[in-house]
């Protein structure tokens, strides 16, 4: 099997023009097959404020009403996605910008919750791995925005970390997949305020101990849960770390390696 790097970029990197450019330079130099999934940064929130569309968050998750859906679609699948694609083209990486609705790459459904109405938030049903493989085989690098759609054609706002995990799992049928969550932190930290407190190797048992003793930053838990879900479904390796050290992350010389060993 050939190798495939599935990389998610998020956090403050997307909001920082210089850091994003540096990351994309490193991404473009990756010689193996690759897919990039990006989040939305803070631009959607800024635009919503400008337009007077009030934003609601529950446990850090955005409630996506009809007006907010328009904004995140414009920002995520529009400006941010095409800005990344155009920069990669200038760095000799033949990228194609997509969201989950394009070519039916990601099928989803509107989230059902017993007590919270998240609005137009999507949970993933299926990844069209064959279509993604065809794009890769044709020499294209997919750049995927976190907007999906359901069977009735309704657009949905979907968590980018979850998209990365689900794509990595689906593509592991055809490739040796390495999943990388890259953001502004150096990895999973024992002390969220100390960049030198990186946990080099995080096993499922150690993770359980840290959670039990509330010694892990709450915002990191969904990312780590996604990492273990990927490992349990065929993904070879999962690494979490600083987007500015992407090449080192790929070579497994920095960041946090998530492992079931």
**Tokens standing for 98?**
């997509």
The pTM score is 0.94
User: Which residues, 6 or more positions from 214, have their beta carbon under 8 angstroms from its beta carbon?
Assistant: none
Contact (CB, 8 A) for 198 and 255 = yes
Cα distance between residue 97 and residue 77, in whole Å: 8
Residues paired with 259 in a beta bridge: 203
Strands 33-38 and 141-145: parallel
Please tell me whether residue 30 adopts helix, strand or coil conformation.
Answer: coil
Cα distance between residue 109 and residue 232, in whole Å: 23
pLDDT tens by residue, 198-249: 999 999 999 999 988 888 877 788 889 989 999 999 999 999 999 999 999 9
Q: Which one, of 81, 90, 98, 107, lies nearest residue 136 by Cα?
A: 98
pLDDT tens by residue, 136-194: 999 999 999 999 999 999 999 999 999 999 999 999 999 999 999 999 999 999 888 88
CATH node for 2-259: 3.40.1160.10
């Amino acid at each position: 099997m050939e190798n495939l790097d599935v990389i998610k970029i998020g956090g403050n990197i997307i909001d920082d023009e210089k850091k994003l450019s540096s990351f994309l330079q490193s991404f473009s130099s990756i010689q193996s097959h690759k897919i990039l999934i990006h989040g939305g940064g803070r631009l959607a929130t800024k635009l919503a404020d400008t337009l007077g569309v009030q934003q609601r968050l529950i446990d850090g998750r955005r409630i996506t009403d009809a007006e907010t859906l328009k904004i995140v679609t414009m920002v995520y699948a529009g400006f941010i996605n095409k800005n990344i694609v155009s920069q990669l083209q200038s760095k000799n990486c033949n990228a194609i910008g997509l969201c989950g609705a394009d070519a039916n790459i990601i099928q989803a459904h509107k989230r059902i919750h017993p007590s919270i109405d998240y609005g137009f938030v999507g949970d993933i049903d299926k990844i069209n791995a064959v279509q993604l493989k065809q794009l890769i085989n044709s020499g294209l690098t997919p750049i995927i925005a976190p907007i999906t759609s359901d069977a009735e054609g309704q657009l949905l706002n979907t968590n980018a970390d979850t998209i990365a995990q689900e794509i990595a799992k689906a593509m592991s049928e055809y490739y040796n997949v390495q999943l990388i969550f890259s953001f502004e932190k150096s990895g999973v930290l024992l002390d969220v305020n100390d960049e030198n407190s990186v946990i080099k190797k995080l096993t499922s048992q150690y993770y359980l101990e840290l959670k039990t003793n509330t010694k892990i930053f709450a915002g990191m838990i969904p990312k780590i849960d996604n990492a273990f879900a990927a490992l349990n479904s065929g993904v070879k390796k999962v690494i979490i770390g600083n987007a500015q050290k992407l090449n080192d992350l790929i070579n497994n010389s920095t960041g946090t390696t998530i492992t079931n060993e």
